[in-house]
Structure 1
Amino acid sequence: MPTTFVLVHGAWHSGQAWSRVVPLLGASGSRVFAPTLTGYGETRHLLGPDVGLGTHVADVVRLLVDEDLSDVVLVGHSYAGMVISGVANQVPERIARLVYLDAMVPADGESALDVLPVSRNMIGDDWRVPAPPAPFGLFGLTDAADIAWLNTMVSDQSALCLREPVAMDNPALGQIPRTHVHCTVKPPGVEPRPVPAVQPNGDPADVRELPTGHDCMITMPAELAGLLLDVASRTPVRAGAGR
């Protein structure tokens, strides 16, 4: 059975950020969805102070339900680690694996500000939080063409995205296997949270590395696609999952 991937972009980006990875996964026969979350990219006109983490969780849950997706490998990059955690809390029966791609990994009730305290420095008096200029932010891009391309898609986000806590209180969430992918080229002071040796479901931790900066879907798309396909091949179909 083909794998279904749902790729969720991080803050300031859009679904377009995955455009180098999507065809590589699709070539394997996989179904691939890369939605743009409300308020970013082509939906930036919808951004407002009331757009927050809950909005983005609802975006992805709606996609899963409307497309009737099950046994999904749900990938969240950066801020979207918050998003996929909230999604899996609401519809765990549809998720085969969570992949935290250089992502925030929260606990129940935490916000992005709790997970990455340095992000507090990004919030000013306005409700808008502009993207840090590439390559000086967390994106890790160095190629001029990549930077120019990224700058065509980046847009502001709402501070509520960083302040709103995530709910992770569904016991079924803990049964979903997790993979953590760390990009090893990082600016000083930005380090991932340590990954516990044992996952909530009792499996050993699954931690992978990519020797690149934060936006690995741009800098190492082939390597990332290969990694995701390997992860999917090791993910059993969940009995009774989906519809």
Structure 2
Amino acid sequence: MYLRISVRYYESWTQWRGSDVTTESKRPFVLVHGGRHGGWSWRSVAQRLRARGYEVFTPTLTGLGERAHLLSREIGLGTHVEDVVALFEYEDIRDAVLVGHSYGGTVVSAALERVADRVRIQVLLDGHLPYAGENVLDLTGPRRAEAMTRLVDDKGEGWFVPPTDASHYGVTEPGAAAWLNERLTAQPFKTYQDPIGPTDRAWRHPGMFVECVPSSLEPHLLERARRRSKEDESFHYRVLHTPHDAMVTDPEGVTALLLEALELG
């Protein structure tokens, strides 16, 4: 009787704890979206991963997507880093594949300083790969940084980056473009201006960099990733022949690479 009750209690406890009893089917994915997007942008990839039995988290960063009602000029990069760190803590996420798309790469790099022990491998999907002290404007290069600053001054009241048409992200198929344009939101410019803190753990952590071809990233960022992949056996470089918003234009290809990353970590 005692054994039967104990087994029943253990089964209930493991269902509640979930991530503490890790199996391949339960290992979680945390997908962090890019600028002016939201967790919604991962829908097709998340559906594919969940259909294979994986737990998937797609947080929306403060002030964006369905959290656009919280938009304010005080929101900075640190706010978004806290969003990701809090998700790991409150959901008790462990042994995860942590993915950052575009701007989300900056968020992931900063968050790893605090959650690296809970992350199996990081994946940057055409994502920023910053050094400590850099900000997003540094990473986009002087010409694009100047254009973005003008856009903020002209159409963002001096403090927010307005949404951009889907074609900016390489999404041109009419249905997908309409879906994207209905959901893109403004983003506080402060998140692009704030310098990132330490990134030592991000640069030491096992990872994969996925270049979307053609990539919207500056050449120097791609060279960083290529050089690192040559020097670090735990860092892997992959190419995906699809536009920047790959999770929308090629969710099957993105899913395949995330599953590969799971095996590499």
2:164 paired with 1:164: no
Q: In structure 2, how many angstroms separate the alpha carbons of the residues matched to 1:190 and 1:88?
A: 23
Alpha-carbon contact 1:5-1:72 (below 8 Å) kept:
yes
Gaps of 5+ in 2: 1-22
2:236 paired with 1:212: no
2:168 paired with 1:144: no
Report the equivalent of 1:109.
133
The structure whose residues are more often helix, as a share, is 2
Q: In structure 2, how many angstroms separate the alpha carbons of the residues matched to 1:128 and 1:198?
A: 33
2:166 paired with 1:134: yes
Deviations 1:27-69 (A, max 9, x none): 2221100011100011101011111111000000000000111
Q: In structure 2, how many angstroms separate the alpha carbons of the residues matched to 1:18 and 1:142?
A: 18
Q: In structure 1, how many angstroms separate the alpha carbons of the residues matched to 2:122 and 2:174?
A: 32
Q: Which structure exhibits the higher relative contact order, with contacts defined as CA atoms closer than 8 Å and separated by 6 or more residues?
A: 1
Tell me which amino acid in the other structure corresponds to 1:120: E
Report the equivalent of 2:210.
181
Report the equivalent of 2:148.
122
Q: Which one of 215, 222, 226 corresponds to residue 252 of structure 2?
A: 222
Tell me which amino acid in the other structure corresponds to 2:147: N
Shift of 1:160: 0.4
Query: For this pair of structures, how many residues does the alignment match?
Result: 231
2:81 paired with 1:62: no
Alpha-carbon contact 1:140-1:186 (below 8 Å) kept:
no
Q: In structure 1, how many angstroms separate the alpha carbons of the residues matched to 2:226 and 2:210?
A: 14
Structure 1 stretches of at least 4 aligned residues deviating more than 3 Å after TM superposition = 172-175, 189-192, 196-202
Shift of 1:200: 11
Deviations 1:84-120 (A, max 9, x none): 0011012221111111100111001110011112233
Q: TM-score, normalised by structure 2?
A: 0.82
Deviations 1:143-181 (A, max 9, x none): 0001100012100001101100111255x4443101100
Shift of 1:197: 3.4
Report the equivalent of 1:98.
122
Q: In structure 2, how many angstroms separate the alpha carbons of the residues matched to 1:197 and 1:190?
A: 15
Q: Structure 1 residues 200 and 111, CA, compared in 2 at 3 Å: closer, same or farther?
A: farther
Q: TM-score, normalised by structure 1?
A: 0.89
Higher radius of gyration, 1 or 2 = 2
Q: In structure 2, how many angstroms separate the alpha carbons of the residues matched to 1:202 and 1:216?
A: 25
Q: Structure 1 residues 201 and 60, CA, compared in 2 at 3 Å: closer, same or farther?
A: farther
Shift of 1:132: 2.1
Shift of 1:3: 2.2
Q: In structure 2, how many angstroms separate the alpha carbons of the residues matched to 1:46 and 1:201?
A: 42
Shift of 1:79: 0.3
Shift of 1:204: 5.4
Shift of 1:72: 1.2
Alpha-carbon contact 2:130-2:199 (below 8 Å) kept:
no
Alpha-carbon contact 1:196-1:205 (below 8 Å) kept:
no
Alpha-carbon contact 2:207-2:234 (below 8 Å) kept:
no
Gaps of 5+ in 1: 236-243
Shift of 1:5: 0.5
Q: In structure 1, how many angstroms separate the alpha carbons of the residues matched to 2:173 and 2:218?
A: 21
Report the equivalent of 1:239.
none
Alpha-carbon contact 2:45-2:254 (below 8 Å) kept:
yes
